[in-house]
Chains A and B, each alone.
Chain A
Amino acid sequence: MWEAGNVALTGLVTGGIYALLAVGFTLVFSVSGILNLAQGSFVTLGALVFYSLVTQAHWSLPLALLGALGILTAWAAVMEWLVIRPALGQISYTNLLMLMGGFLILYEGGAFLLWGSNPYTLPPFTGAQPVAVGGLKVPTQAFWVLGTVLVVVVGLWYGLSRTTFGKAMRACSENPMAAELMGIPVPRMVLVSFSLAAALGVLAGAVILPLTSLDFGTMADYTNQGLIAVTVGGIGNFFGSVVGGVTLGVVEQFLSVYVSSLLSTALSLVVLLLILIFRPEGILGTVRGSRLDVAERGIGRGFLAPAIDPRIGRGAALVALVGLALLPHWLQGTGLLRAVNITGIFCLAVIGLDLLTGIAGQVSLGQAGFMAIGGYTAGILAVRAHVAPWAGTLAGVALSVAVALLLGLASVRVRGMYLAISTLAFGILVESLGNGLSITNGPAGLLGIPNFSLGGYVFASETALYYLIWGLVVVALFAALNLIRSHRGRALRAMHIDQAGAEALGVNTVRYKIQAFVFSAVLASIAGSLYAFSFQYLSPAMVGSQTSLDLMTMLVVGGIGTGVGPLLGVVLLTFLPQVSQSLASFKLLAEGLMLVVFLRYLPGGLWGTVLQGVSAASWRWWRASRAWTDPTRLDKEADA
């Protein structure tokens, strides 16, 4: 009995933190329409800054809290002013979402450099002895957490519903244009919402620190939990967010104590997916304005890369092919071939992602989930049932296709931001299954996976693997480029720009979307299988949610929607860290920074920027052959 009470109490404390996170999401979203994926960072950052001020600067607790609040709210405001505000209305919604993901990675990388990978904790604020309430043993810190949550929630509720300032803030979220006309300074309100959300994170981080231990890796977890909570409650719904957070905390706690902690994460994610698909406004949400269906608006229609003259393209492709064929010969003895192979594996996954996100405009934050499905299916079949690797790979592909069909179907109902959350949840779900199931051998990873083999031939040497992997990359790239240039590719682009419009033109968006999902999943799945075979080992972290974000970064840095470009991103972000260990520790920070900088200033990525430079110098080339990137082509075809 009292045990259940203790479980409930722990759940309530965690739920309180989730509630603060969810409210942070809701605040920013309702004022600006932005899903702030960096929200979870502020919990961890708040806790770490608080920790340092207390233990290193020897400030008193209240002073340290004020200090952390000051530093991080100011930081959030500056980022809003410097990066996010100018980006609003300039870059597409898809890119905005990825930009926020970039901030998450950036903060992770920054915290890793500043605080290392050690987890930190503090003693309770007051009295280390738990207080007995009836038969319950309540840690004193729990009072601090619950008290803070209560004060913040009541205060915010009052502020938003009773004060003019709060009403003005809500007006911004309802109709920014009309709000501007009332003389409400909308940009300033957005800035305030970001700062306020950061403050909520800092408060949560500071009060929870004594009850847990935090390191840079917890940022993504908090973002994920906050997202689940806010989606359950209804994004943009204040009370829904609070209730969603508390419910999630309590349910999770009961499930993990009485059933299993694996099931608790997996179950909450399954529930989330169901809610997203069938009730995207949340359990408590009421359908609200147009924000619910975030379609791509006309703004910043994404980057249109100038196309290359086919003759030059063919020539370059030929040179590249010859180069690829000779590369192992050149690299003989350098030991670099392994890094080249891993790069190739990621190229496969990114080619698919580019078609899905870059061309069809469906953000996927969980693409590594398909790598995990492919890798684990093939790996487990090979290790436990001695199934031939090629057959295991195909089995993985089959499973991935089945899941992609499901996700694709979901994407018919769920769009924009909600789709992004769904894919994120899918990726975490797969990761949590990888960690929790015994068949995968949990976090320790699956050992003893054989080499890839086909018929009697075993791909044991790196050179053999090289030709296998890069052969597949060439085939996949060829298929993707053909698809992009075909009629189907134009339909996908049209869908990206304006789904309703594309439908009105008779584009079967459902079919194309699902096809894009399946294509990308097949490639990711094969990549995952090859990953497992080439390492002869697979762990959930290798194909977890961080890997999904990595894939996204490679895509953006290389040049989203440019077909060939993303491969540059892979080379930059896979090959270099593989080669140099000292670069590896800066990887996260650099990745986040690049994601932010490219999305904000160079939406064409490396490839697009280079192409633009080249085409500016010799615009005659592409003028003659604007092929598939000519936006007016659609109209011309519709006219024909």
Chain B
Amino acid sequence: MLTVQDVWAGYGPSTVLQGVSLTLEPGTVVALVGANGAGKSTVLKTLSGLLRPQRGRIAVDGRELTGRPPADWVRAGVAHVPEGRQVFANLTVADNLLLGAFSALARLGPRQRQERVEEVLAIFPDLGPKLGVLAGSLSGGQQQMLAIGRGLMSQPRYLLLDEPSLGLAPQVTETIFAVIGRLRDRGVGILLVEQNGRLALAVADRAHLLEKGVITVSGTGAELLANQTVVERYLGVGSPLDDGPRPQALAERLRRALGR
């Protein structure tokens, strides 16, 4: 279990997170929703060691990792797929994947490395034919798949996904959500930050609304979807963009893809 206790964090002198607490159990999906600038990405950064919290404790499976460098977090089984893909554009797809397992490489023989790559390819078959090309030449959706695949190479028990569906076509979003479902079923705990709050809430076991660095509403995904505050403040009642028939239908299909 990944436990976050009263974490305060920020950049330089400024404080963004003001006492965030949450837990992520293996085999569950936890959604974190909130407006732009609420601090969602900042939460993930503190959970992967990129950002040292000013206060508070974070423990992975009972081991406290607060303030340790990212390498320790990867080794403890946490993988963070950052916002905006961030693939190594001038390295090949295969090398990108390989580096995803960097923390374990010393232990892995060529055989096991191959196996891990194949596992990722089984999840994202689209990457198969592209192994030898430079990551920068992939399409946006393929890069997102690569980013997630690269994160999976370390065989994490906790996966932190920051806006995995941003800018992707509905079909690709669907693929990615299907993958999320499968990983969850395999016992991976997933912390999901999504622009598209409705989608995230639809698939989440638990969900939190983050406002200005504070968690204001928590509950199951369904509870948040029905919550008056969340709908008013965040999902926006009657917003023509959010309430179109297509997202609804997509959410429905996604729920089915996830097997609910």
Among A168, A171, A183, residue most surrounded by chain B Cβ atoms (within 10 Å):
A183
Tell whether B82 is near chain A: CB-to-CB under 8 Å: yes
B100–A182 touching, CB < 8 Å: yes
Beta-carbon contact of B89 and A182 below 8 Å: no
Contact between chains at A183 and B75 (CB < 8 Å): yes
The verdict on A314 contacting chain B, using a C-beta distance below 8 Å, is no
Asked if B165 is at the interface (CB within 8 A of a chain A CB), the reply is no
A116 within 8 A of B: no
Residues of A within 8 A of B150 (CB): 182
Please state if A184 and B87 are interface contacts (CB–CB under 8 Å): no
Residues of chain A lying within 8 A (CB to CB) of residue B48: 181
Is the Cβ of A174 less than 8 Å from the Cβ of B91? yes
Chain A interface residue count, Cβ-Cβ cutoff 8 angstroms: 18
Given the known interface contacts A181-B80, A181-B82, the answer about A167 and B98 at a Cβ–Cβ threshold of 8 Å is yes
Binds A, one of B23-31, B66-74, B218-226: B66-74
CB of A184 within 8 A of CB of B91, answer no
Q: Mark B73-110, 1 if CB is under 8 A from A, else 0.
A: 11100011010001111110001001110110100000
In the assembled complex, how far is the CB of residue A81 from the closest CB belonging to chain B, in whole angstroms? 15
B53 to chain A, nearest CB (A): 16
A221 within 8 A of B: no
Contact B71–A170 (Cβ < 8 Å):
no
Could you tell me if B89 and A289 are in contact, using CB atoms closer than 8 angstroms?
yes
CB distance from B108 to the nearest CB of A (A): 10
Given A164-B102, A175-B86, A177-B82, is A183 in contact with B91 using a C-beta cutoff of 8 Å? no
CB distance from B203 to the nearest CB of A (A): 24
Q: Tell yes or no: B16 within 8 A of A by CB.
A: no
A288 proximal to B (CB < 8 A):
yes
In whole angstroms, what is the CA distance A164 to B151 when docked? 17
Residues facing B in A134-191 (CB within 8 A) are: 164, 167-168, 170-171, 174-175, 177-185
Q: Is the Cβ of B74 less than 8 Å from the Cβ of A181?
A: yes
A-B pairs with beta carbons under 8 A, tally:
70
Q: State whether B88 touches A184 (Cβ < 8 A).
A: no
B82→A182 contact, CB < 8 A: no
State which of A164, A178, A180, A185 has its C-beta within 8 Å of the C-beta of B88. A178
Q: A184: which B residues are within 8 A, CB to CB? A: 71, 99, 102
Q: Is the CB of A171 within 8 A of B154?
A: no
- Chain B neighbourhood of A289, CB < 8 A: 89-90
The minimal Cβ–Cβ distance linking A62 to chain B, given in whole angstroms, is 31
Most buried by B among A167, A177, A181: A181
Q: Is the CB of B88 within 8 A of A175?
A: yes
Instruction: Choose among B74, B82, B87, B99 the residue that contacts A168 (Cβ–Cβ < 8 A).
Output: B99
* CB of B50 within 8 Å of the partner chain: yes
Q: Give the docked Cα–Cα distance between A174 and B92 (Å).
A: 12
**Residues A185 and B69 in contact in the complex (CB < 8 Å), given A170-B88, A289-B89:** yes
Contact A182 B91 (CB under 8 A): no
Least distance between A632 CB and chain B CB atoms (Å): 14
Q: How far is the CB of A178 from chain B (nearest CB, A)?
A: 4
B71 adjacent to A183 (CB under 8 Å)? yes
Considering the chains assembled together, what is the distance between the CA atoms of A170 and B136 in angstroms?
14
In chain A, positions 30-62 with a C-beta closer than 8 Å to chain B are none
Q: Is the CB of B89 within 8 A of A167?
A: no
Contact among B70, B75, B89, B91 with A180 in the assembled complex (CB-CB below 8 Å): B70
Say whether, besides A170-B90, A171-B88, A182-B74, A164 and B105 are in contact (CB < 8 Å). yes
Given the interface pairs A164-B102, A167-B99, the reply to whether A183 lies near B154 with Cβ below 8 Å is yes
B132 to chain A, nearest CB (A): 14
Cα distance A289–B88 in the bound complex, in angstroms: 10
Complex CA–CA separation, A167 to B90 (angstroms) = 10
Which residues of B lie under 8 Å from residue A181 when comparing CB positions?
48, 50, 70, 74, 79-80, 82, 86, 151
Min CB distance B183 to A, Å, is: 18
- Interface mask (A285-328 → B, CB under 8 Å = 1, otherwise 0): 00011000000000000000000000000000000000000000
Complex CA distance for A288 and B136, rounded to whole angstroms: 10
Query: Complex: how many Å from CA A164 to CA B73?
Result: 20
| Distance in Å: Cβ of A163 to nearest Cβ of chain B | 11
Residue of A nearest to B11 (CB): A298
Bound together, the chains give a CA A174 to CA B154 distance in angstroms of 20
CA distance in complex: A453, B150 (Å): 74
* A177-B82, A178-B82, A178-B86 known; A185 vs B71 contact (CB < 8 Å): yes
User: A167 touching B103 by the CB < 8 A rule?
Assistant: no
Q: In the complex, what residues of A have CB within 8 A of residue B86's CB?
A: 175, 177-178, 181
Least CB distance, A21 to chain B, in whole angstroms: 23
Interfacial chain A residues near B98, Cβ < 8 Å: 164, 167
- Inter-chain contact B90/A182, CB cutoff 8 Å: no
Whether A174 touches B89, Cβ cut-off 8 Å, given contacts A183-B71, A184-B71, A185-B69, is: yes
Closest A residue by C-beta to B154: A183
Nearest chain A CB to B207's CB is how many angstroms away?
Answer: 24
Which of A164, A170, A182, A288 is most buried by chain B, counting CB atoms within 10 A of its CB? A182
Q: Which residues of chain A come closer than 8 Å to B88, judged between CB atoms? A: 170-171, 174-175, 178-179
B70 touches A178 (CB 8 A): no
What is the 8 Å Cβ interface bit string for chain B, positions 125-156, against chain A (1 contact, 0 not)?
00000000000000000000000001100100
Known contacts A177-B86, A182-B150, A183-B75: A171-B91 contact under CB 8 Å: yes
B154 — which chain A residues lie within 8 A by C-beta?
182-183
Complex Cα distance, B73 from A609, in Å, reads 40
Query: Which residues of B sit under 8 angstroms from A179, Cβ to Cβ?
Result: 88, 99
Q: With a CB–CB cut-off of 8 A, which chain B residues contact A288?
A: 90
CA distance A184 to B89 in the complex (A): 17
Q: Name the residue in B50, B73, B102 with the highest tally of chain A Cβ atoms < 10 Å from its Cβ.
A: B102
Distance in angstroms between the alpha carbons of A180 and B95 in the assembled complex: 16
A–B Cβ pairs within 8 angstroms, 11 of them: A164-B99, A168-B102, A170-B91, A171-B88, A175-B88, A178-B88, A179-B99, A181-B48, A182-B74, A182-B99, A182-B154
Chain A interface residues toward B at CB < 8 A: 164, 167-168, 170-171, 174-175, 177-185, 288-289
Interface residues of B (CB under 8 A from A): 48-50, 69-71, 73-75, 79-80, 82, 86-91, 95, 98-100, 102-103, 105, 150-151, 154
Given contact pairs A175-B88, A181-B151, enumerate 9 new A-B contacts (beta carbons under 8 Å). Answer: A164-B99, A164-B105, A170-B91, A178-B82, A180-B71, A181-B48, A181-B82, A182-B99, A183-B71
